[in-house]
Chain A
Amino acid sequence: AQSVSQHNHHVILSEAASLELGCNYSYGGTVNLFWYVQYPGQHLQLLLKYFSGDPLVKGIKGFEAEFIKSKFSFNLRKPSVQWSDTAEYFCAVIKSSGDKLTFGTGTRLAVRP
């Protein structure tokens, strides 16, 4: 069965620091990959997605992610975080031929002003 691992459970950064959140998935076939953000008290919103093509994808609010097929990874990055990026971040995967969207356990990011 497919699964998603997010190894960083809690991350604390100061404003302007760089961010990288890890995401690894277990399925060996072709997948579609997503990063979502959940601000306190809100529902999940899509940050970015990868289906095919350029493995470096850019999303909203200055976020980007790199798909490395050989490492089964889809890490999220941002060069300079802001206090407003304080949120929980979820990686998700679905098989390109499948129907089940699976999420990781999430990474809670706190950015100190």
Chain B
Amino acid sequence: NAGVTQTPKFQVLKTGQSMTLQCAQDMNHNSMYWYRQDPGMGLRLIYYSASEGTTDKGEVPNGYNVSRLNKREFSLRLESAAPSQTSVYFCASSPRQAEAFFGQGTRLTVV
């Protein structure tokens, strides 16, 4: 019973490099989310997708892009990483307006 799977778990990038964080869920959920977690700031929503083919900006979308490839997968891309993007990233999925289920997180360090 996999739930929400995120890859990679850890990543170190140099400033200016790009990367894509992958997320997949096997619960047939419509909604998917990307959050970043920073000390003292809680979880801040980067982007979300209410259904396949739709994406919307959250609170902190600058520097990120997303793709809802299909109902299962929702990827987050950093085109040109900056030290300010050092964070722990969580993907989540949910049935609409219901509780979210979280992945294990990706710890990203940008040097």
Interface residues of B in 21-72 (CB under 8 A from A): 31, 33, 35, 40-45, 48, 50, 56, 58
Identify the A interface with B (CB < 8 A).
Answer: 6, 9, 32, 34, 42-46, 49, 51, 90, 92, 94-106
A19: shortest Cβ distance to chain B, in Å? 19
Do the beta carbons of A100 and B98 come within 8 Å of each other?
no
**In the complex with contacts A43-B90, A90-B42, A101-B50 CB distance below 8 A:** no
The interface-forming segment of B12-20, B76-84, B101-109 is B101-109
Contact residues on B (Cβ < 8 Å of other chain), bracket: 20 to 34
Do the beta carbons of B50 and A99 come within 8 Å of each other?
yes
Do the beta carbons of B100 and A101 come within 8 Å of each other?
yes
Shortest Cβ distance from B101 into A: residue: A46
**B56 contacts across to A, CB distance below 8 A:** 99-100
**B35 contacts across to A, CB distance below 8 A:** 103
Which of A51, A95, A99, A100 has most B Cβ within 10 Å? A99
Query: What CA separation (Å) do A106 and B56 show in the bound complex?
Result: 24
Do the beta carbons of B45 and A102 come within 8 Å of each other?
yes
**A42 contacts across to B, CB distance below 8 A:** 104
